[in-house]
Amino acid sequence: MEEVKVDFLKVLEAALEKRRRDDSLEAAVGREARRAGLTYQDYMVIMELVREHARKNKLDAWGSAKVILKDQKQQ
């Protein structure tokens, strides 16, 4: 897996930690990206990374985000 920007990983991690009951990953990542001062383009990069990983590994978005974070922390 390619190296991911640290800011993107922090946003993804915050989205997982602060997940609301009926949140979609898109809503949670969008909220955390705005809090971090990232742009819409940054949000799109994060979501495309997660969606692509989910498609390749047949996971849902939340599961894919968890695996991405775990893989990046191990590098």
Q: For residue range 34-43, what is the model confidence (pLDDT) as tens digits?
A: 999 999 999 9
Q: What's the distance, CA 50 to chain centroid?
A: 6
Domain boundaries along the sequence of the chain:
6-74
For the cut 90, the answer to whether the pLDDT of residue 72 exceeds it is no
For the cut 80, the answer to whether the pLDDT of residue 23 exceeds it is yes
User: For the chain, what percent of residues have pLDDT higher than 90?
Assistant: 76
The DSSP 8-state label assigned to residue 19 in this structure reads: -
pTM of structure: 0.86
The answer to whether 57 touches 66, Cβ cutoff 8 Å, is no
Provide the pLDDT confidence category of residue 75 given band limits of 50, 70 and 90: confident
Q: What is the Cα–Cα distance from 10 to 4, expressed in whole angstroms?
A: 10
